Amino acid sequence: MSKVRRALHGARNAFGRHSLAFSLAATDGYGGRHVNVELSVTLVSIKALYPLSFDVGSRTALDYLRDSGIRLVAEFFRDKGLPALKQEDRDDGWYQDWIEFQAKHGLYAGLLSPKQDSNRGCQINIRKLTRFAEALAYFSPAHGYSLQVSFLGLFPILLSDNEALKKEAIAVLEAGGLFAFAVSEKAHGSDLFANEFTVRPAGTSDQRADGEKYYIGNANSASIITVLAKKVAADGPSASKRAPFIFFALRPDKSPGFQNVRKIRTLGVRGAFVGEFEVKGHQFPESDVISQGRDAWESLHATVNLGKFFLGFGAVGICEHALAEAIAHMRQRILYGKCVTEMPHIRATVVNAYARLTAMKLYAYRALDYVQASSRHDRRFLFFNAVQKAKVSTEGVKVMGLLSECIGARGFETETYFESALREVLMIPGLEGSTHINYGLTAQFLEPYFADFEEEALPPKSLHGVDSEVEENPYWMSGQDRDARTVRFGHCLRAYRPLRSVANVRAFVQQVKSFRQFAAAGLAELAPSADMGLLVGIGKCLANIAFAQLVAENCAVARIPRQTVSIIFQAMIEDLSTEAIHLSAMYPMRSTTRELLKRVVRVPKMSPRHVEAVSRLIASRYVAGTDPEESGAHSVGTS
């Protein structure tokens, strides 16, 4: 009973009474009393919020390995071995063995088949999906790319009213098939309004598609490709920016017009197939139309908003493996008569990398709670998803940079996982995340994020307190209002209350208050909507604040040791100060706005004792393979 009391105490400290689903059920079979307590966090699942290692002998991934799908992933890659993966990478070789393996075991189908359409009793469990994506990236981001792209190609079909096509797509998925998402074109990149791929009427009922697509994943193997095009008149000119959009389904093996498929050689994920193709005179019936007009545009946004959100979990998995490999190397490395990990500057850098990785994971899985809780009345996930797409993946680049400083030349040797991780972690924010777009989108939420609402939105429950199946949310399949101005938030400073004993958290709260003063008084001086650079600068500051909020919420849930919290928020203070300085430089000299932004800048508290404590925690997880509670560090909200 003492463990239950401690769990209750920790959960209350985290979120107050709203964090508990607490029920007492009395039974008198023999006069006894049965007590049933349900918590929003459990002692087992909170450990999954820490960085983990799938190395043989490590106990840190046990919660993940309860999932049969993740066990199969681990078995596949352990049997295949890192040397074979690296050879595939060097050869740009397609991983047909993995595609056949996942098809045999129904892995992608078990993750992506929606409840109402599945023939196997599957449903979209986003906790299961994101953990799987994290684990797959841990072993091979290139293999994870095929799952990511399949989600993007499938989701517009799931959102459509074309029931026959939906059933066909699910049958393809559950037979092991892949999907592709053909949106971008070589000449136009993310400027979709400039796209030249066209669909024209052909006869009485058919339509004809012509055009080229570029940088399309799974282009070599997709059973169905979801293609975005412009709808134009039969004898009209080429597509204009005003032409309506249309999504249609193309089946490559049944279309003679699908031609000239070519692989694009990329810096990373070389085992995946990222390609280009042409479509010439492809005729298709009305039954192949997925959506068109405004519905197609909204479907595109909903797909990207949710699908690209999952990339953050891939960045977490990449960094987790790189950290485990780096620590294993450093433990064996002797320089100047001492182990590398005993050098103070190396130890501090590893601690910084671990703290940033911990924050990445805490944010990503807390943002997932907001996705799960989303509804017509709670659309905060739109904001937190934009922050994830911009911030989590860029943090991954920082983590890899820090670790690279620690292991030096070893990180560039081609037989290591680390070398490919250095390349592949860059691709997520650079090519898939469109960070400037997402920072701009983040800035649009500035006013509602800091607004004082009469009825405050409460934080959602943590999915890490749900040991049963996480239910599919029907709201994901409905039309979603993307208007940032109508999203209601809770008070952002409430998240820091359980952490107020940590000096760096208190300092960060003062930064947030200062930035809020800037938001209230400084924006009138130069309208951000007129300057994309300014909009991105504001978005970067706000993204740091939102990132810290959700990290703080999950620090309390996961009982992160206060020493780790201190170092996490040391980085938060540094990052927000840096972005505030950059933003202030965009405003005129001696302006009021510059003075307001100066107040955001703070110097964090740096404690050698905290570095030492977190270093011991890291050793307990990556050397002894123990749990965080066994390291002797004090958790926030515990005595």
Q: Is 570 domain-assigned?
A: yes
Query: Quick check: 485 and 447 in contact, CB under 8 A?
Result: yes
Residue 230: enclosing H or E segment and its boundaries?
strand 222-231
Residues 523 and 601 in one domain: yes
CA pseudo-torsion sign 94, 97, 100, 104:
negative
Residues 129 and 69 in one domain: yes
Strands 222-231, 245-250: pairing is antiparallel
pLDDT (0 to 100) of residue 161: 95
In the chain, pLDDT over 90 holds for what percent of residues? 72
Residues 225 and 312 in one domain: no
| Mean pLDDT, rounded, for 211-227 | 97
Residue found by looking up tokens 């193309």 in the block = 250
pLDDT in tens, 402-447: 999 999 999 999 999 999 999 999 999 876 557 888 999 999 999 9
Residues 108 and 83 in one domain: yes
Residues 379 and 359 in one domain: yes
Residues 380 and 498 in one domain: yes
Residues 594 and 507 in one domain: yes
Q: Is 69 domain-assigned?
A: yes
Q: Which of 153-167, 233-247, 274-288, 348-362 has the lowest average pLDDT?
A: 233-247
Which of 295, 323, 353 is the endpoint of a domain? 295
Residues 333 and 276 in one domain: no
Query: Quick check: 386 and 400 in contact, CB under 8 A?
Result: no
Instruction: Count the Cβ atoms, other than its own, within 10 Å of residue 5.
Output: 9
Q: Is 467 domain-assigned?
A: no
Q: How many domains does the chain have?
A: 4
pLDDT at 198 over 90: yes
CA nearest to 471, candidates 479, 463, 481 = 463
Q: Is 305 helix (H, G, I), strand (E, B) or coil?
A: helix
pLDDT at 567 over 60: yes
Whole-number Å distance between alpha carbons of 635 and 555: 9
Q: Is 505 domain-assigned?
A: yes
Residues 371 and 510 in one domain: yes
Cα→Cα distances 29→1, 37, 38, 126, 401, Å: 21, 19, 22, 39, 62
Give the CATH number, domain containing residue 240.
2.40.110.10
Which of 295, 318, 334 is the endpoint of a domain? 295
Question: Which of the four pLDDT bands, split at 50, 70 and 90, describes residue 13?
Answer: very low
Name 277's bridge partners: 213
Q: Is 109 domain-assigned?
A: yes
Q: What CA dihedral angle connects 247, 252, 255 and 261, to 10 degrees? A: 100
Residues 211 and 246 in one domain: yes
pLDDT in tens, 46-82: 788 999 999 888 889 999 999 999 999 999 999 999 9
pLDDT (0 to 100) of residue 467: 67
Residues 515 and 546 in one domain: yes
Whole-number Å distance between alpha carbons of 352 and 326: 14
Cα→Cα distances 73→54, 68, 99, 312, Å: 11, 9, 12, 19
pLDDT (0 to 100) of residue 634: 57
Query: Quick check: 208 and 202 in contact, CB under 8 A?
Result: yes
Residues 6+ apart with CB under 8 A from 94: 220, 221, 271, 272, 273
Query: Quick check: 268 and 217 in contact, CB under 8 A?
Result: no
Tokens of 381: 């996930």
Cα→Cα distances 223→123, 141, 212, 338, 415, Å: 21, 22, 18, 56, 34
Q: Which of 83-87, 175-179, 533-537 has the lowest average pLDDT?
A: 533-537
Whole-number Å distance between alpha carbons of 357 and 395: 8
Q: Is 472 domain-assigned?
A: no
Q: Is 199 domain-assigned?
A: yes
pLDDT in tens, 307-353: 999 999 999 999 999 999 999 999 999 889 888 988 999 999 999 99
pLDDT (0 to 100) of residue 479: 65
Give the CATH number, domain containing residue 85.
1.10.540
Whole-number Å distance between alpha carbons of 564 and 338: 26
Which of 247, 262, 295 is the endpoint of a domain? 295
Instruction: Count the Cβ atoms, other than its own, within 10 Å of residue 71.
Output: 13
| Mean pLDDT, rounded, for 175-187 | 96
CA nearest to 495, candidates 448, 547, 455 = 547
Query: Quick check: 219 and 261 in contact, CB under 8 A?
Result: yes
pLDDT (0 to 100) of residue 21: 30
Residues 142 and 85 in one domain: yes
| Mean pLDDT, rounded, for 460-464 | 90
pLDDT (0 to 100) of residue 527: 57
Q: Which of 27-41, 91-105, 199-213 has the lowest average pLDDT?
A: 27-41
Cα→Cα distances 535→149, 381, 528, 531, 538, Å: 29, 20, 5, 6, 5
Q: Is 170 domain-assigned?
A: no
For residues 587 and 626, which has the higher predicted lDDT (pLDDT)? 587
Domain containing residue 225: 179-295
Give the CATH number, domain containing residue 555.
1.20.140.10
Query: Quick check: 374 and 297 in contact, CB under 8 A?
Result: no
Residue 385 dihedral angles phi and psi, to the nearest 5°: -65, -40
Residue 407 exposure: Cα atoms within 13 Å on the Cβ side = 27
